[in-house]
Amino acid sequence: MSPISTQRHGDILIVTSNNPPVNTLGHAVREGLVKAIEEADADEAIKAVVIRCDGQTFFAGADISEFGKPMQMPMLPMVVDRIEECTKPVVAAIHGTALGGGLEVALACHYRVAVPSAKLGVPEVKLGLLPGAGGTQRLPRVVGVPKALEMTTSGNPIGAEEAFDLGLVDRLIEGDLAQHAVAYAEEVSDVRPIRKSSELDEKLAEARANPGMFDEFRKANARKMKGFDAPEANIKAVQAAVAKPYQEGVLDERRLFMELMTGTQARAQQYFFFAERKASKIDGLPEDTKPRDIKRVGVIGAGTMGGGISMNFLSAGIPVTIVEMAQDALDRGTGTMRKNYEATAAKGRMTAEEVEGAMGLLKPTLALEDLGDCDLIIEAVFENMEVKKDIFGKLDKIAKPGAILASNTSYLNVDEIAASTSRPQDVVGLHFFSPANIMKLLEVVRGARTAPDVLVTAMQLAKKIRKVAVVAGVCHGFIGNRMLMPRQIEATKLLLEGATPEQIDRVHVEFGMPMGPFQMADLAGVDIGWHRDPSRIENLRDKLAAEGRWGQKKGAGFYDYDEKRRPSPSPVVQTYIDEFAAKEGIQRREISDEEIMERTIYTMVNEGAKILEEGMAQRASDVDVVWVYGYGWPVYRGGPMFWADTVGLATIVEGLKRQQERLGSEFSLSEMLVKKAEAGEKFTR
């Protein structure tokens, strides 16, 4: 049965799509839409058409799973042209999200009405693409060039009210959308000539008067767009809309779309779209597992981590009890949270009432006993096993039955922590990334005895606080930090062998990482994890810590910093490096960028493979989600495992073997990596 049905309401033809879950524009939908428009054209009794969707949303775009397969006719550009050519006015009735191809369908309709909660956007850029069904040509004609540039290059949707102000929506509908859309169609059924988005010119003329705006836009957004192919292609397509007649502009759009579609970046970004959604699924849990009810959350520790974690729940409307050991630390912690909220409000992203609302849900206390009514308790204290065990032992006596006890540990053994309670089934790791109120990743660490409903609760809760959760097994550093370790070890060795912090960081930044290992150390703090004994100097990091070079916060770390925190190479650090190299009898030599790649990035892939081999991650794509959302791995390279597939696993193995001697005895090749390379297989599909 076709997902598209038609129904007559007097002289209006109502065309309805029913293609759950999000009404993507798959083949059957496209075919049905064309047939419906033909039906309207052929029937004299029909005066206007309404296109609407059943279910949670208007068309959310092309069906991404059809990409890369042979396209079945009619293609979307043909469908939207056919809609625009309809001889009767066509009204789009929008609820939920009109995204990508969905918005392109709406733009081809002659009128658009929407409920106030609807969102409209062209997220193709996030898939490494551009709107390929006339969107780059019609959108600027309707909303103007500056807005079209912003929408196409950011991919972020706008709300219906803004769309109404811009002329993208003709009427906002309160009440029954279908009913009002039909009434609207009646109103416009006699209007001639029929307004077509592709024929509008007024807003393009404004842009023609200011041809420099495109380069200004490029300059203003250079940082955000760096490394990505798609934003520039979007700009070029919008530029074509201004410079060329519609019929020529769409040809440019098609050419640019096809160039992107056949590139690696689009493949990586589309892969990542599904990777992110797959991450929330836990294999092997009973289907009927019900989550536990979380009405109040407890957080132990009001430091940077505890405060950030608490803010996630407060922002989602979940009350939090926060515990500290001393009043001044508690006051400082809650004060920082308020300051962070107020800064968000100052940027216009929150109202003053919302700040008060969130802070009003916070209950600060010095008594651990006050956590007795919490459904989930997250410990975010000092990273030390004895301290954690002590806290969990106490929680065991305080927490109500069925409460989930979570540790925010970033390395430690969750099973050992769980063993200090009488209820290991209720214990789980919830590893937030700093700053915890901002970073999207949450590693959910599954202990040997963690109950299925605890895991399901964690995954659901993550969604509620707008995090992307990935399940990890119990191992040192879980997925993300474990893969960081070989990189850190090799980066430090490379310094002694002849590379500089600048060179190593540059290789990582050129690869697309937001920063390299030493820039990261300086930002996070060189003193993190330091034993705090200045007389014990066993490695370069100990030396820097002992000398008070703790990173940006001290104005000195691996780099020197000026008062504006701008880094410059440090001659002092270079002398430390030279001293250590001499002490260890290392002959310094020229290091190539290629060697840095092989020793710091290929080794991460190797560690990722070991994680998979040991079952510490459910799937390769989960590893990729961790690295993109936790460490800023460039999404246009998909993630370390996807990237390794694009490079070729044989090449990775070859590079690692070339470096084997330098990698030393503590390094071993992953068997899974070697086997896959030999068999010509990949980690991801």
Residues designated as active site:
104, 124
Site residues (CB under 6 A) for ligand 3HC, limited to 229-288: 274, 277
Cβ distance to ligand 3HC smaller for residue 124 or 324: 124
Binds ligand 3HC by CB under 6 A, chosen from 86, 99, 444, 652: 99
Give which of 230, 234, 301 is closest to 270, Cα–Cα: 230
CB of 202 to ligand 3HC, least distance (A): 25
Under the binding rule (CB under 6 A), the answer on residue 124 touching ligand 3HC is yes
CB of 606 to ligand 3HC, least distance (A): 30
Sign (positive or negative) of CA dihedral 323, 328, 332, 338:
positive
CB of 651 to ligand 3HC, least distance (A): 31
CB of 4 to ligand 3HC, least distance (A): 17
Cβ distance to ligand 3HC smaller for residue 274 or 580: 274
Contacts of residue 193, Cβ cutoff 8 Å, sequence gap at least 6: none
Structure tokens given for 340: 């962070």
CB of 320 to ligand 3HC, least distance (A): 25
Contacts of residue 250, Cβ cutoff 8 Å, sequence gap at least 6: 77, 134, 137
Cβ distance to ligand 3HC smaller for residue 26 or 167: 26
Cβ distance to ligand 3HC smaller for residue 62 or 114: 62
Tell me the sheet residues that pair with 13.
Answer: 8, 49
Q: Coil, strand, or helix at residue 82?
A: helix
Counting Cα atoms < 13 Å in the Cβ hemisphere of 150 gives: 7
335 dihedral zone (left: phi>0; alpha: psi -120 to 50; beta): alpha
Under the binding rule (CB under 6 A), the answer on residue 647 touching ligand 3HC is no
Binds ligand 3HC by CB under 6 A, chosen from 93, 98, 133, 656: 133
630 dihedral zone (left: phi>0; alpha: psi -120 to 50; beta): alpha
- Distance, CA of 273 to CA of 243 (rounded, Å): 33
Under the binding rule (CB under 6 A), the answer on residue 625 touching ligand 3HC is no
Cβ distance to ligand 3HC smaller for residue 3 or 132: 132
- Distance, CA of 596 to CA of 525 (rounded, Å): 23
CA separation (Å) from 141 to 174, 238, 597? 27, 10, 46
The region of 124-132, 228-236, 403-411, 537-545 touching ligand 3HC under the rule CB under 6 A is 124-132
The length of the chain is 685
Say which DSSP state 419 is in. Answer: T
CB of 164 to ligand 3HC, least distance (A): 20
CB of 253 to ligand 3HC, least distance (A): 9
Convert 616-653 into a string of H (helix), E (strand) and C (coil).
Answer: CECCHHHHHHHHHHHHCCCHHHCCHHHHHHHHCHHHHH
Site residues (CB under 6 A) for ligand 3HC, limited to 55-84: 57, 60-65, 76
At which residue do the structure tokens 């769409």 appear?
Answer: 250
Under the binding rule (CB under 6 A), the answer on residue 552 touching ligand 3HC is no
Contact 591, 498 (CB under 8 A): yes
Give the x/- contact pattern for ligand 3HC in 440-459, rule: CB under 6 A.
--------------------
- Distance, CA of 261 to CA of 346 (rounded, Å): 40
Cβ distance to ligand 3HC smaller for residue 95 or 296: 95
Under the binding rule (CB under 6 A), the answer on residue 483 touching ligand 3HC is no
Under the binding rule (CB under 6 A), the answer on residue 324 touching ligand 3HC is no
Binds ligand 3HC by CB under 6 A, chosen from 131, 567, 638, 639: 131
> In the chain, what's the furthest Cα-to-Cα distance?
93
- Distance, CA of 189 to CA of 668 (rounded, Å): 72
Structure tokens given for 189: 């059924």
CA separation (Å) from 346 to 239, 339, 340? 34, 10, 10
CB of 67 to ligand 3HC, least distance (A): 8
Q: Coil, strand, or helix at residue 300?
A: strand
Cβ distance to ligand 3HC smaller for residue 299 or 442: 442
Cβ distance to ligand 3HC smaller for residue 252 or 375: 252
N-to-C CA span, the chain: 31
Under the binding rule (CB under 6 A), the answer on residue 500 touching ligand 3HC is no
Give the x/- contact pattern for ligand 3HC in 404-433, rule: CB under 6 A.
------------------------------
CB of 23 to ligand 3HC, least distance (A): 9
Cβ distance to ligand 3HC smaller for residue 276 or 453: 276
Give the x/- contact pattern for ligand 3HC in 4-43, rule: CB under 6 A.
-----------------xx-x-------------------
Using CB under 6 A, list all residues that contact ligand 3HC. 21-22, 24, 57, 60-65, 76, 97, 99-101, 104, 123-124, 127, 129, 131-133, 135, 274, 277
